[in-house]
Amino acid sequence: MTRNSSVAANLNPAQRKKLFLEMQSSNQTISVIANREGVSRKFLYQQRKKGDQALEKGFNQPKEESDILYWIPVTKEWIFQVILALIFICHSSYRGVVEFLRDLFDYPISVGTVHNKVSSMIETAQKINKSQDFSGIKVGLKDEIFQSGLPVLTGIDAFSTYCYLLVGADHRDEDTWGWHLLEASQQGLNPDFSIADAGKGLRAGHEAAWPGKPCHGDTFHILHKTEGLENYVHRRAKARTGQREKLEKKMEKAKSKGQGNRWSTKLTNARRAEQKAIILAKDISILCDWLKEDVLALACPDCVERAELWDFIVAEFKQRESLCLHRIRPVRTALENQKKELLAFALVLDEKLTEISQRFDIPLYWVRQVCLLRGQNKQENAYWSTWNELHQKIGYQFYLLFEAVEQAMKETPRASSLVENFNSRLRNYFFLRRTLGNDYLDLLRFFLNHRTFLRSEHPERVGKSPTELLTGQPHSHWLELLGFDLFRQPKIAV
């Protein structure tokens, strides 16, 4: 081995880089540098070539790498995050996670390992869940969903959609609901009122946990019942019309053979039945529309007038009950039994409008007229005609009053449909599992409360999580809350 080759072999990467930079910036020749450093010119040319290649690669990316956006360091911790994201964001099964990692990352993993990884996060999630203050929840929405024949009790905040209750149980009776609501009360849950369907166990549990605290009725379910009745009587009327048309065709054929009397009685009866069915369908539609638009809507008269119209609608249903007993009676009975609960929201709205009237020193009549205006169609001339009239009557306070009434109506929930929607989202997770453990439900509740809304009909929710909406305070990403370092794409200087 020559002296020059031994010197070159002992140079470390930093020294080789220094030689390259000197060759690029110095006025000295290759020979001078080679003699000074005790290396061959061939070695220096090799180092310069390597440096040129590195510069070329840095500034002019090769074509075969032009599709690479950035590099991700695939560590065990990152794989752990992928497992959680696949299960909770993508609703993947455990075997789906195994297949994903095997096919896309060439990373073998067992179903048991996936289960253990998920289970290891439960304790952290439970601590975060139990540390949350529920005192900011003013209106609670409660419901039940079933999985494998067993109930899962759910409860969310009407405004932030924060889930304060998600627990599996063996029963849904008074004791079960009361126990879990009292447990949530230890974290500050004390809503002004709640909204729920007519479930006996749910309502009894609410009363046991908070004696005397209102539990309003859910307008969604009663309107769903009336819509079902309306659709049925319309289908029946259509069927009666079809029967009459068939008999008329048979009558025409019989007349051509001189046997018209054969179908005359049946045709007469069919025409009478059709007429009764059509009249009943029209009447039911009118009553259902009144209930929806003039009683259970926000933009309606005060609670006293609503109650009078409610009684009138119930009486009209009862008069027609014999015409379709098995369909009309259940709806009429539900309306009679749930009147107080279903009209409870109207009392809340009336109180808010009264407070607005006193705050603006404007007669309650004009405040109510602004409320009724909100129920009109903005595309119609009548809306703007009323708008101009109210503007002239109220004067300079009109815009502020309009905003106050609009906000009051917005903050007066009437239905528990939000928790129904929440339950439909839960179904996407439940259908992959035969049984549900409360540990898993705790982790799922943590995720749903800390993930952000990508879109919403309410602009104030977009980009925020239910926890942020409830507390008004930002928080870290849900993976960071579980103790992970979230991957961030490296920023490249331009």
| Number of domains within the chain | 5
Nearest-10 Cα torsion for 468, 470, 472, 473: -50
Banded pLDDT at 130 (limits 50, 70, 90): very high
For residues 323 and 246, membership in a common domain is answered with: yes
- Alpha-carbon dihedral 83, 84, 87, 90, rounded to 10 degrees: -90
* C-alpha–C-alpha distance, residues 165 and 186, integer Å: 13
pTM of the model: 0.78
Task: Examine the domain organization and report whether 287 and 317 are in the same domain.
Answer: yes
Same domain, 324 and 237: yes
* Cβ proximity of 144 and 199 under 8 Å: yes
Last-in-domain residue among 369, 392, 410: 410
Q: Does any domain span residue 488?
A: no
Same domain, 229 and 298: yes
Same domain, 237 and 324: yes
Are 264 and 311 within one domain? yes
One-letter amino acid for residue 114 of the chain: V
Range of the structural domain that residue 15 is part of: 3-65
Q: Is residue 230 predicted with pLDDT exceeding 80?
A: yes
CA angle 20–24–27, rounded 5-degree value = 120
| pLDDT cut 70: percent of the chain above it | 95
Q: In the prediction, which pLDDT does 148 show?
A: 82
Q: What is the pLDDT of residues 38-56, one digit of tens each?
A: 888 888 788 888 887 777 7
Share of the chain above pLDDT 90, in %: 66
For the ranges 120-134, 171-185, 245-259, which has the lowest average pLDDT? 245-259
CB 401 within 8 A of CB 356: yes
Instruction: Output the domain CATH number for residue 443.
Output: 3.30.420.10
Question: Which amino acid appears at position 207 of this protein?
Answer: E
Residue 146 lies in a domain: yes
- pLDDT higher than 80, residue 58: no
Read off the pLDDT of residues 25-37 as tens digits, 9 standing for 90 and up.
Answer: 777 788 877 788 7
C-alpha 107/C-alpha 151 separation (Å) is 38
The predicted-structure confidence for 250-284, as pLDDT tens digits, reads as follows 888 888 777 767 788 888 899 999 999 999 999 99
Q: Same domain for 400 and 461?
A: no
Cβ atoms within 10 A of the Cβ of 332, count?
Answer: 20
Residue 147, domain member (yes or no):
yes
Nearest-5° angle of CA 460, CA 467, CA 85?
100
Q: Quick one: 324 and 267 in the same domain? A: yes
Domain for residue 70, yes or no?
Answer: no
The answer on 327 and 233 residing in a single domain is yes
Count Cβ atoms within 10 A of the Cβ of residue 196 and give its class: 0-12 exposed, 13-18 middle, 19 or more buried: buried
Q: Has residue 183 been placed in a domain?
A: yes
Count the Cβ atoms, other than its own, within 10 Å of residue 197: 20
Q: What is the pLDDT of residues 373-421, one digit of tens each?
A: 988 888 889 989 999 999 998 989 999 999 999 999 998 999 888 899 9
8 Å CB contact between 161 and 422: yes
Above 70 in pLDDT, residue 61?
no
pLDDT at 241 over 70: yes
Average pLDDT value over all residues in the chain: 89
- Rounded to an integer, the average pLDDT of 191-211 is 92
**Co-location of 146 and 90 in the same domain:** no
**473 belongs to a structural domain:** yes
410, 439, 466: which is the final residue of a domain?
410
Q: Are residues 337 and 350 in the same domain?
A: no
Residue 17 pLDDT greater than 50, yes or no:
yes
- Residue 352 in any domain: the answer is yes
65 pLDDT higher than 80: no
Q: How far apart are CA 370 and CA 379, in angstroms?
A: 17
Domain termination site, one of 342, 369, 394 = 342
* Position 492 in a domain: no
Same domain, yes or no: 202 and 297: no
The pLDDT confidence band at residue 494, using thresholds 50, 70 and 90, is very low
